[in-house]
Amino acid sequence: MEGIRFYTYGPPEVLTFQDLGMPTVGADDVLIRVRAASVNPADWHLMRGTPYLVRLRGGLSRPKANELGLDLAGRVEAVGRNVTTLRVGDEVFGCRNLERAGTFAEYVTMPHDAGVLLKPVGLTFEQAASVPVAALTAYQALRHHGRLRPGQQVLVNGAAGGVGTFAVQIAKALGAEVTGVCSTRNAELVRSIGADHVIDYTKEDFTRGGRRHDIILDNVGNHPLSACLRALTPRGTIVPIGGTGGHVVGPLGRMLHALALSLFVRQRLVPFLARPTKDDLEAVRDLLESGKVTPVIDRTYPLNELPAAIRHLEAGHARGKIVITV
């Protein structure tokens, strides 16, 4: 089979497209023929070895693991002897965790009881592959950490990105009144996926607009947290999940700042890292099958053009998700 590997940290040019051996199917595994995968910020962080904090687990001078890719959609080709939930021929989608990345390949194995489900009815492989990491992040941020209730006011900063396009739709599906923050060129897109209000950040600063929100889902990190508090209700919640930061701690610095600041204010600041769970993925699948959530795909690239796909993601202007066809 063919797939992508990298053996040194660096820009997308360190990625190599090569022949690989077929993965071994364990007793509790399913072998999946990958039809599509998608690109996430975690991929380029792992590829570049930045922030440097990731190297404490991933290898200080060179990567210990040589694979990238978390999301996938495809067809089951073989099952282990203990597998009863999936059968050969099933169309599935799901995600691997950071410790077992590797979906940028023709075949992968995954434990049958974690991270993989039957593909949502009505979605293409490309659409399904765009879902897991981004949609789970949005769902967990709003449902579990934001504690969203129907009728609340939700602001999504970075509403046109991968997580943002899912967050706008999930918040609407959960009964919120949604404000999306995006650039001028993305305003119509954000409206079309359900935002009740759209703020063009090139013309207006949402932290100075006077409107108060129960939940702010911040995918960007382009405002100080103290400024974001001005846009919250007295008991509101900020869920910071994005940002740039320095080369040492990167976005984790903003998360640590949020934890420290939360000790001194009445509002809740709740940083988190998404973790794939079967229950949450099933909840997202239900929203997709009901038509309440539809993936937004910016571009598709073939597997051997993964470096170009990651360069496009790193540029920071993708509308929705970037998908890799296999």
Query: What pLDDT shows up at residue 261?
Result: 82
Classify residue 68: in a domain, yes or no.
yes
Q: Which residues of the chain have pLDDT under 70?
A: 243-251
Looking at the structure, do residues 21 and 149 belong to the same domain, yes or no?
no
Model pLDDT, residue 249: 60
Buried b (16+ CB within 10 A) or exposed e, 154-173: bbbbbbbbbbbbbbbbbbbb
| 291, amino acid identity | G
254 and 310 in a single domain? The answer is no
CATH code of residue 61: 3.90.180.10
- CATH number for the domain spanning 171: value is 3.40.50.720
The answer to whether residue 289 is domain-embedded is no
Tell me: do 143 and 18 sit in the same domain.
no
227 and 191 part of one domain:
yes
pLDDT of residue 260: 82
What pLDDT, in 10s, does the model give residues 23-57? 999 999 999 999 999 999 999 999 999 877 777 77
What's the pLDDT at 273? 84
Look at the chain and report how many structural domains it folds into. Answer: 2
Torsion sign across C-alpha atoms 281, 320, 183, 256: positive
List, for residues 249-308, the tens digit of each pLDDT value. 666 777 777 888 887 888 999 988 888 899 999 999 999 999 999 999 999 999 999 999
Q: Would you say the pTM of this structure is higher than 0.85?
A: yes
What local confidence, expressed as pLDDT, does residue 248 receive? 60
Q: Are residues 251 and 125 in the same domain?
A: no
Pair (7, 68) in one structural domain: yes
Q: Please check whether residues 139 and 113 belong to one and the same domain.
A: no
- Structural domain of 116: 2-131+295-325
**Lookup: tokens for 316:** 């920071």
Residue 288 counted as domain residue: no
- Cβ–Cβ under 8 Å, residues 259 and 271: yes
Domain match, 124 and 155 both: no
What local confidence, expressed as pLDDT, does residue 250 receive?
A: 60
Given 252, 269, 286, the domain boundary residue is 269
